[in-house]
Amino acid sequence: MRDISREVLDKIKEEGIVPRPKRYFILRRSTVWILFCFSIILGSIACSTVIFRVKNAEWDLFHHFKGNLLEFLLIYTPYFWGIFMIFFSFIAYYYFRQTQGGYRFRAITIIILSLLISVAGGMGTYSAGITERMETVFEEKLPFYHGVSFHSRMVWMSPDKGLLAGRISDITKSGSFLLNDLDGNEWHINAEGAVWRGRLTPSTGLEIKLIGTRIGPNSFRADEVRPWHGRKNRGAKDRHN
């Protein structure tokens, strides 16, 4: 009759297996949970950015695309961040399965739960106004992020379609100012009678988007001025210059 206990002991001696201390397993479990939570946080950030971009997609600009719905959706749909959120939901699923008892749950249950937590976290982040600040930091500090927002920037660099964006470089007189566009070109802006969205006031260094009409090679008449970033419908007050 086989002595299984003896065989196991011989195998342990043969392969030099030594017992691991309890702290190893505690550290491993802690690391897995930290990575799971980190994945959820990143998914929440991605979700909050999706909400921010959809809320600020400026659907009223659709007529500038001459009815081309596909082009408009490709430019304004935050598919990059949507993919990012789904990706980290799968990462969260992977690490959750590594936790003690994680194997008991079905894969679809874990993935849906991860997505729901990310959505809830994203809504909270957006409601707190954190997403808007993150967008500004990303654009200023992360060079690769310009590629993510490239299409949106391209839309606002269409003066012949009545769209222009940039930074105010100088206030020339009441209702007029100089603007350096996103490509560094200088424009003379006539904003007399324009509607300023939000709580904007003309000031040097202010980043804005203009809706209006091109009236010369480097001249533009603005009918509406919007902040480059901002939740335009949340507590905003409009005023005429």
- pLDDT per position as a tens digit, 5-63: 777 666 767 766 667 777 877 888 888 889 899 999 999 998 998 888 777 777 777 66
**Cα Rg, the chain, nearest whole Å:** 27
Is 208's pLDDT higher than 90? Answer: yes
- Residues 156-240, CATH architecture: Beta Barrel (2.40)
Is 224's pLDDT higher than 50? Answer: yes
In this prediction, residue 233 has a pLDDT band, given cuts at 50, 70 and 90, of: very low
Share of the chain above pLDDT 90, in %: 24
Domain ranges in the chain are 22-148, 156-240
- Averaged pLDDT score across all residues of the chain: 80
Which segment of 100-104, 106-110, 148-152 scores lowest on mean pLDDT? 148-152
> Which pLDDT does position 116 carry in this prediction?
92
Between these two residues, 131 and 210, which has the higher pLDDT value? 210
Alpha-carbon span 4 to 110, nearest angstrom: 39
> Which pLDDT does position 73 carry in this prediction?
66
Q: Are strands 219-227 and 195-196 parallel, antiparallel or unpaired?
A: parallel
Alpha-carbon span 91 to 117, nearest angstrom: 14
The structure tokens listed for 54 are 């959809």
Q: Return the half-sphere exposure (C-beta side, CA atoms, 13 A cut-off) of residue 120.
A: 7
Is 66's pLDDT higher than 90? Answer: no
pLDDT digits (tens, 9 = 90+) for 148-194: 555 567 778 889 888 999 999 999 887 899 999 988 999 999 999 89
Q: Bin 138: left if φ > 0, else alpha if -120 < ψ < 50, else beta.
A: alpha
Alpha-carbon span 192 to 38, nearest angstrom: 50
End-to-end Cα, the chain, rounded Å? 98
- Distance set, CA 202 to CA 18, 20, 99 (Å): 72, 67, 55
Q: Are strands 219-227 and 207-216 parallel, antiparallel or unpaired?
A: antiparallel
Among residues 239, 241, 240, 233, the alpha carbon closest in space to that of 59 is found at 233
90 neighbors 111 (Cβ within 8 angstroms): yes
Over residues 208-224, mean pLDDT: 93
**At residue 20, what are phi and psi to the nearest 5 degrees?**
-90, 145
In this prediction, residue 120 has a pLDDT band, given cuts at 50, 70 and 90, of: very high
The structure tokens listed for 233 are 């419908």
Is residue 166 exposed (0-12), middle (13-18) or buried (19+ Cβ within 10 Å)? buried
What is the value of pTM for the model shown? 0.62
DSSP 49-94: HHHHHHHTS-GGGGGGGTT-HHHHHHHH--HHHHHHHHHHHHHHHH
Distance of alpha carbon 4 from the chain centroid = 59
